[in-house]
């Protein structure tokens, strides 16, 4: 109890940016990708996102799964349409739609996102729900693991007996979740939370120099894409 384990996270340029700016850029890139028709401009867009991707630690299994799914998509669409360049373009467009947001999401600490949503005066239940999902998702994963182990102790290997999933895994998990939900409601009240009472925000997200810099860089990037596409 006396010694907490050290778990500092390093911060970088992208982490310091206002979450709304990142979401805005993400939306702008997706919208732009829908209007692009040149493969070169699409390459500038996707290339830029790929550069950003290097700033982020993407879990290996997710990266491999995404690459596999993308390859399957590209090959299947090329095979169906018989047009390889069109298929490449569509694959790039799919990347342009799917990639910007996760890149930006992985550089946004959840607390910052929740604080910015709170600041945007969204209904309090939304920020509460996000807080709870973020906090208790790992705990429910832990519960799932323990229930899985309890099945093994009874001689049931769920990997080989999917018919047991419902009674052996889902039902006990739901019972745990319902119990947790009741206790968390009480826990929130003991901490003074009320969805109807006013809450202060001690750390409002403010505009900083890094945000200005980010805006300039984003505008340059979007301008370059437009120039390559339309020459303007």
Partner 1 sequence: MMTRNTIGNSQPLLEIQDLSFTHVGQSEPTLEAINLNLNAGELVVLAGATGSGKSTLLNCLTGIAPEHTGGKLTGQVICQGEDITGWSVRQRSRFMGIVLQNVETQLFTERVEEEIVFGLENWNFPPQQIQELTQAALVEFDLMSQKDWRIFKLSAGQKQRLLLTCLLTRHPNILVLDEPFAFLDTAGVQLLLELLQQRVKRGQSVLLIEHRLELLRGLPNRTYGLEAGCLNCWDLSELPTPAESLFQTSASTHPGPRQSNARIVLQTHDISFGGYPAFPNFKVVAGDIVLLKGDNGCGKTTLLKLLSGLLKPNTGWLEIEGQDQTNKKVVQIAQTVGFVLQNPNHQLFAESVSAEVMQPGVTTAQAQQLLEQLNLSYCSDKHPHALSQGQKRRLALGAVLARQPTICLLDEIMVGQDATSLELMLKALRTFTEEGGALIFTSHDPKVATMLQPHIIALDE
Partner 2 sequence: MINLNWNLRDYVFAAFMTIGMVASVFIIGPLVPPFLDVVAWGPVGGIFLTLGMARLQKRGSVALMVFPLAVLVIPLSPAITLYLVLTVLFTEAVVFFRGNYRLKRNRLLGTVLFFASAVAIGIVGGGLMVGDVFAELLTKPWLIALLSLSGAITGGIGWWLGENIVSQLKRAGKLDDDL
> What is the contact surface with partner 2 in residues (CB under 8 A)?
19, 22-23, 26-27, 30, 34, 65, 69, 72-73, 76-77, 80-81, 86-87, 90, 93-94, 97-98, 101-102, 104-105, 108, 113, 117, 122, 125-126, 128-130, 132-133, 136-137, 140-141, 144, 166, 170-171, 173-175, 177-182, 184-185, 188-189, 193-195
Contacts to partner 1 from residues 199-228, by CB under 8 A: 199-204
Question: According to CB under 8 A, which one of 171, 217, 219, 220 is a site residue for partner 1?
Answer: 171
**224/230 Cα distance (integer angstroms):** 10
Q: On the CB side of 156, how many CA atoms lie within 13 Å of its CA?
A: 16
**19/9 Cα distance (integer angstroms):** 18
Q: Which is nearer to partner 1, 131 or 226 (CB)?
A: 131
Is the four-CA dihedral 109, 112, 113, 114 of positive or negative sign? positive
- Mapped onto helix, strand or coil, the DSSP state of residue 204 is coil
- Partner from partner 1, partner 2, none contacting 200, C-beta within 5 to 8 A by type: partner 1
Q: Which is nearer to partner 1, 10 or 60 (CB)?
A: 10
Binding region for partner 1 (CB under 8 A) out of 16-24, 37-45, 51-59, 104-112 = 104-112
Q: Are 181 and 132 in contact (CB under 8 A)?
A: no
């Amino acid at each position: 109890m006396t010694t907490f384990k050290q778990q500092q996270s390093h911060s970088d340029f992208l982490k310091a940016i206002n979450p709304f700016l990142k979401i805005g850029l993400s939306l702008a890139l997706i919208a732009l990708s829908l209007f692009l028709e040149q493969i070169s401009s699409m390459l500038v867009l996707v290339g830029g996102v790929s550069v950003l991707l290097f700033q982020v630690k993407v879990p290996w299994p997710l990266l491999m799964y995404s690459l596999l799914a993308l390859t399957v998509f590209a090959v299947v669409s090329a095979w169906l349409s018989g047009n390889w360049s069109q298929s490449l373009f569509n694959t790039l467009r799919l990347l342009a739609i799917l990639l910007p947001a996760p890149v930006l999401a992985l550089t946004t600490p959840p607390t910052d996102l929740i604080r910015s949503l709170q600041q945007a005066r969204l209904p309090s239940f939304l920020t509460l729900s996000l807080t709870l999902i973020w906090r208790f998702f790992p705990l429910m994963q832990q519960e799932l693991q323990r229930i899985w182990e309890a099945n093994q102790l009874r001689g049931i290997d769920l990997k080989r007996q999917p018919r047991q999933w419902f009674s052996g895994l889902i039902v006990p998990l739901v019972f745990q979740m319902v119990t947790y939900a009741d206790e968390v409601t009480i826990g929130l009240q003991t901490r003074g939370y009320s969805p109807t009472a006013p809450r202060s925000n001690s750390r409002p997200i403010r505009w900083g120099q890094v945000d200005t810099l980010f805006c300039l860089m984003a505008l340059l990037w979007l301008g370059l894409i437009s120039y390559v596409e339309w020459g303007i």
